[in-house]
Structure 1
Amino acid sequence: MKDEIQARILKKSKESYQEVWGKSLVIFCTLLICMLVISIFVFITSKGLATFFENHASLKNFFTQSTWNPNMSDKNGKPLVGALPMILGSFGVTLLAALIVTPFAIGTALFMTELSSKKVRNFLQMVIELLVGIPSVVYGFIGLNVVVPFIRNHFGGSGYGILAGATVLFVMTLPTVTSLTVDALKAVPKHYRQASLALGATQWQTMYHVTLRSASSGIYTAIIFGMARAFGEALAVQMVIGNASLLPTSLLTPASTLTSVLTMGIGNTVMGTVGNNALWSLALVLLLMSLFFNVCVRMIGRKDK
Structure 2
Amino acid sequence: MTDKSWNTTTKIWTERRGRIITFSSVFIMILVAISIISFVATKGLSTFFVNHGSFMDFITGKDWSPGKVDELGKPLIGALPLIVGSFAVTFFAAIICAPLSIGAAVFMTEISPKFGKKVLQPVIELLVGIPSVVYGFVGLSIVVPFLRNTFTGSGFGILAGTIVLAVMILPTITSLSVDAIEGVSNSLREASLSLGATRWQTIFRVVLKTARPGLLTAIVFGMARAFGEALAVQMVIGNASVLPHSLVEPASTLTSILTMGMGNSIMGQVENNALWSLALVLLFMSLFFILCVRIIGRRRSN
- TM-score of the alignment, normalized to the shorter chain, above 0.5: yes
Following the alignment from structure 2 to structure 1, what is the Cα–Cα distance between the partners of residues 246 and 68?
Answer: 28
Q: How does 1:195-274 map to 2 (within 5 A)?
A: 195-274=191-270
Counterpart residue identity of residue 148, structure 1: V
The Cα of 1:154 is off from its aligned counterpart by 1.3
Say whether 1:82 aligns with 2:78.
yes
Count of residue pairs brought into register by the alignment: 301
> 1:95-135, CA deviations, whole angstroms, 9 ceiling, x for partnerless residues?
00000001000100000000114144222111101100000
> Residue type matched to 2:182 in 1?
K
1:275 is matched by which residue type in structure 2? E
Alignment map for 1:137-148 (pairs within 5 Å): 137-148=133-144
Write the deviation string for residues 137-188 of structure 1: whole angstroms up to 9, x where unpaired: 0000000000001111112211100000000000000000000000000000
Letter in 1 for 2:138: I
1:234-285 CA-partner distances (Å, limit 9, x unpaired): 0000000000000011000000000000000000000000000000000000
2:299 alignment partner in structure 1: 303
Give me the whole-angstrom Cα distance separating, in 1, the residues matched to 2:151 and 2:296.
Answer: 38
State whether residues 108 and 115 of structure 2, in contact with CA within 8 Å, keep that contact through their aligned partners in structure 1. no
For residue 59 of structure 2, the aligned residue among 60, 63, 67 is: 63
Code of the residue aligned with 1:224 in structure 2: it is V
The equivalent of 2:275 in structure 1 is 279
> Percentage identity across aligned positions?
59
| SS of aligned partner of 2:140 | helix
Per-residue deviation, 1:8: 1.1
Q: Structure 2 matches for 1:285-296, cutoff 5 A?
A: 285-296=281-292
Larger displacement relative to structure 2 (114-123 or 32-41)? 114-123
* TM-score for both structures, normalised by structure 1: 0.98
Partner of 1:77, secondary structure, is coil
2 CA distance for matches of 1:119 and 1:11?
53
Aligned partner letter, 1:236: A
2:160 is matched with 164
Partner amino acid, structure 2, of 1:190: N
Distance 1:45 1:178 in 2: 34
Tell me the residue number matched to 2:104. Answer: 108
Secondary structure of 2:238's partner?
A: coil
Residue equivalent to 1:23: 19
- Give the whole-Å Cα distance in 2 for the aligned partners of 1:117 and 1:283: 42
Deviation at 1:60, TM superposition (A): 0.3
Q: Which one-letter code corresponds to 1:173 in the other structure?
A: I
Deviations 1:73-102 (A, max 9, x none): 101110000000000000000000000001
**Structure 1 residue 222, shift from structure 2 partner:** 0.2
Distance in 2 (alpha carbons) for counterparts of 1:40 and 1:90: 22
- Match of 1:69, SS state, is strand
Match of 1:129 among 122, 125, 130: 125
Whether the aligned pair in 1 keeps the contact of 2:107 and 2:113 (CA below 8 Å) is no
1:52 alignment counterpart:
48
Q: Describe the shift of the 1:300–1:117 C-alpha distance in structure 2 as closer, same or farther (beyond 3 A).
A: closer
Task: Give the secondary structure class of the aligned counterpart of 1:147.
Answer: helix
TM-score, normalising length: structure 2: 0.99
How big is the shift at 1:194? 0.5
* TM superposition shift of 1:12: 1.1
RMSD: 0.8
**Cα deviation per residue 1:186-208 (whole Å; 9 max; x = unaligned)?**
00000100100100010000000
